[in-house]
Structure 1
Amino acid sequence: MTITLRSFGEADYDWLVDLHGRLYAKDEGFDETFGALVAEILREFLQNHDPACERGFVAVNETGERLGSIFCVRLDAETAKLRLFLLTSEARGHGLGKHLLDACTGFARQAGYARMKLWTHESHRAACALYARNGWTLHSSKPVRSFGQSLVEQHWSRPL
């Protein structure tokens, strides 16, 4: 399978909101507030992102089918935030997650950030294992009630 990473654009908005909403509802029982949060994040990105230091990546196969996404956004002058990292069910287990993670951290490094941070949930075990294998450190965990579920929220970071 040949994979290309391209920049996220307005035409990807509905697809990515729908994908997040469907996959997280099916896999984790998240309610509609999760899709609404993704929509809000993407609207903000489309309206205000600085292409010099923020980028959304969309992975596509040779037929143009979208397989996943990852975003690098500015948290502050020295810190990038990883957001909206997701793969379709079919794309999982083939190394695409590492490819997207490497592209995102590489972009953040080139943009001049000193470190990256992210927020996730403990239930995203495959993603958390990927972070741990690639230089990320878990800094905090706490039980929360989000998206209609009892979850354990986590905060990770890594130097660049």
Structure 2
Amino acid sequence: MIIKAVDGLNETVGRIVSVVAVIFAAIIIFDVVMRYAFNAPTRWAFDVTKQLYGFYFVMLGGYALRHQAHVRVDLVTERLRPLARRWVEVAGYVIFFFPFAWVFLTRSWDFALKSWQQGETTYGSVQLPVYPLKMAMAVAAGLLILQGAAEVLKLILDKQEKPHGA
């Protein structure tokens, strides 16, 4: 039940956030057309696309983990039996993943709160608020921790999903 809920949450977030790639691509195309076809570049497109890409990149961490799309070094685990491999992976989550994710969550939350309190904006001709992107980092870290917990439960309960092509 918990595993399905977390998987479903990150699946939904991933599918919704993936639309952002289309939006920032459209903005880039719009800016290029305005710049080269009409000699009228936008002042805002670069900053907006930079923030949208940052949002897109950080928010898909839980989705990527859910689909096992993160970089892995399987040099040690590929030679192990399935049970031993699962326990080595659980240990990896406990020793490496969760401490990193916890630091990511707590530091990004502090980072976002300070940015919001200061009303931080980008520099340049168009000053966009920065704190929504920094808040997204904290939300992404939370989603990553939840998905990590779901992945550990899958390993412990031996509930691994088959890859889509298998």
Q: Same fold (TM over 0.5)?
A: no
Please give the TM-score of this superposition, normalised by the length of structure 1: 0.27
Greater RCO structure (CA 8 Å; 6+ sep): 2
Higher strand proportion: 1
Higher helix proportion: 2
Bigger Rg over Cα: 2
